Amino acid sequence: MSILVTNNLVKHYGKGETKVKALNGVSIEIERDTFTAIVGTSGSGKSTLLNIIGGLDNPTSGDVIIKGKNISKIGKKDLTVFRRRNIGFIFQEFNLIDNITVGENIAIPLTLSQKLGTKEIREKTVEYAKRLGIEEVVDKYPNECSGGQRQRAAIARALVNNPSIIVADEPTGNLDSKNSHELLKILKELNSKEGKTIVMVTHDSMIASYCERILLIKDGKIEGNLEREDLSQKEFFYKIVDMT
């Protein structure tokens, strides 16, 4: 069974003259333990799709089914809890809160779920900071960190609740090429070693060629589906460039 399914997702912003049709019937299936890239030009509907998949926004019509649960049909409170347990988000702008420390940022999902005491929260925070190689900045503020460190902190925050699905919206968009490659290495390992299901949005074919499957979105519709299969990364890259 697919871990994530969307049925005919439609999303319209605004009304009348100013109405924008951001998604025009998107039906996709994502298998467990896979690393998928959604590619498309700016304005094609990538972020809209990701936000709806992750329960951050509601579709105008259509359904999102995660682990067999139709999240378009559950109440707001239940959705928040479901999302926190099952989905980790990584954003292009990192979305760290500036006036709390890196460690406090990482701990946000733990604090919200109210299951652990202060000591356990600290232990888990340090554990994830260590895993991402940013232990030395746990007690610093985001503006005292490099871009790469901030994105690692954002990843630690996305992982700290151990979600099975990670959605990442242009996670390399604000990173230089060295940090981009390191980030991709981290994501690839999370997928191959820990079986995380990852859906990553990018407009960069090179970045996409790290994934095993590519979905192309154009004007709010899925217009292409490529599987890497036994292609080398270079061959896959050229295939993606060809398709886009």
Binding site for ligand ADP (CB under 6 A): 13-14, 20, 22, 40, 42-48
Binding at 195: pick from ligand ADP, Mg ion, none (beta carbon under 5-8 Å per type): none
47 is a contact residue toward Mg ion (CB under 5 A) = yes
Shortest distance (Å) from residue 220 CB to ligand ADP = 7
Shortest distance (Å) from residue 47 CB to ligand ADP = 3
Nearest in space to 65 (alpha carbons), one of 56, 55, 75: 55
Binding at 241: pick from ligand ADP, Mg ion, none (beta carbon under 5-8 Å per type): none
- Residue 158: phi and psi, rounded to 5, are -70, -25
Which are the contacts of 109, defined by CB distance < 8 A and separation ≥ 6? 84, 157, 160, 161
Shortest distance (Å) from residue 50 CB to ligand ADP = 8
202 is a contact residue toward Mg ion (CB under 5 A) = no
Distance CA 181, CA 134 (A): 17
Q: How is residue 91 written in tokens? A: 């954003």
Nearer to Mg ion, 47 or 105 (CB): 47
Per-state percent for the chain, helix, strand, coil, to nearest 5 = 40, 25, 30
Cβ neighbour number for residue 148 with a 10 Å cutoff: 18
Nearer to Mg ion, 42 or 143 (CB): 42
Beta-bridge partner residues of 11: 23
Nearer to ligand ADP, 19 or 85 (CB): 19
Nearer to ligand ADP, 47 or 149 (CB): 47
- Residue 69: phi and psi, rounded to 5, are -105, 125
Q: Positive or negative, the Cα torsion across 11, 13, 16, 18? A: negative
Distance CA 204, CA 110 (A): 33
Nearer to ligand ADP, 134 or 207 (CB): 207
Binding at 53: pick from Mg ion, ligand ADP, none (beta carbon under 5-8 Å per type): none
Shortest distance (Å) from residue 145 CB to ligand ADP = 26
Per CB under 5 A, residues contacting Mg ion are: 46-47
